[in-house]
């Protein structure tokens, strides 16, 4: 079932830009497997399906959950598992700090796995890839950092790419929910901090 689902979603994700293509899904799956190795009571099948489907109806690319709902309904699993998968997907997004609570271990694993791909070297690359597609500035020192905002405000304002680090990415380390996720986030967070320090030095001409 997992392999069949991979084939179905591959083409969907590869219509998106490089920040959310199928390589993103493969990395999130890799992160999820690492976390799963430390959580023996988790339902791995539920985690794998949720990882594969968590961005097919991403609000950055569509206003409809039609694709997500269709693919879930096509799965040969119980209605309870289908609902579990829907709940996991709904709880993954940061939504400007207005995230839904994670109710299950599987949801914690998927959310941590996805957020690990939003930080570190990969997170930096993805941020500027998405910013480039959207025509955003690399940085804008005049922008006010928003730590309190609605989901609508978070999604509607076209902020510079570096601003996104302060409004989301640098916050994710402390929002990890599994012990392994917390451990994995530490090094990636430090790398982002180092990158931003170097970027500041270079743009200010400091030797």
Domains of the chain: which residue ranges? 2-203
Separation of CA 105 from chain center: 17
**Per-residue model confidence as pLDDT tens for the chain (207 residues):** 999 999 999 999 999 999 999 999 999 999 999 999 999 999 999 999 999 999 999 888 988 899 999 999 999 999 999 999 999 999 998 877 788 889 999 999 999 999 999 999 999 999 999 999 999 999 999 998 998 888 788 777 889 999 999 999 999 999 999 999 999 999 999 999 999 999 999 999 887
Architecture (CATH level 2) of domain 2-203 = Orthogonal Bundle (1.10)
**pTM (whole model) above 0.85:** yes
């Amino acid at each position: 079932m997992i392999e069949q689902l991979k084939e179905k979603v591959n083409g969907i994700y590869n219509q998106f830009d490089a920040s959310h293509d199928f390589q993103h899904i493969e990395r999130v799956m890799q992160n999820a497997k690492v976390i799963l190795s430390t959580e023996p009571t988790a339902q791995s099948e539920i985690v794998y399906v949720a990882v594969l489907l968590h961005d097919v109806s991403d609000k950055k690319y569509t206003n409809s959950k039609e694709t997500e709902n269709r693919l879930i309904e096509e799965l040969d699993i119980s209605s309870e598992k289908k609902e579990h998968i829907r709940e996991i997907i709904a709880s993954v997004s940061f939504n400007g700090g207005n995230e839904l609570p994670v109710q299950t271990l599987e949801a914690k694993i998927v959310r941590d796995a996805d957020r690990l791909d939003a930080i570190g070297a990969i997170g930096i690359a993805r941020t500027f890839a998405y910013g480039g597609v959207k025509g955003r500035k690399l940085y804008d020192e005049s922008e006010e950092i928003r730590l309190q905002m609605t989901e609508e405000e978070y999604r509607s304002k076209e902020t510079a790419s570096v601003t996104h680090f302060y409004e989301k990415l640098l916050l994710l380390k402390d929002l990890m929910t599994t012990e392994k996720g917390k451990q994995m986030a530490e090094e990636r967070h430090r790398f982002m901090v180092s990158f931003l320090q170097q970027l500041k030095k270079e743009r200010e001409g400091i030797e």
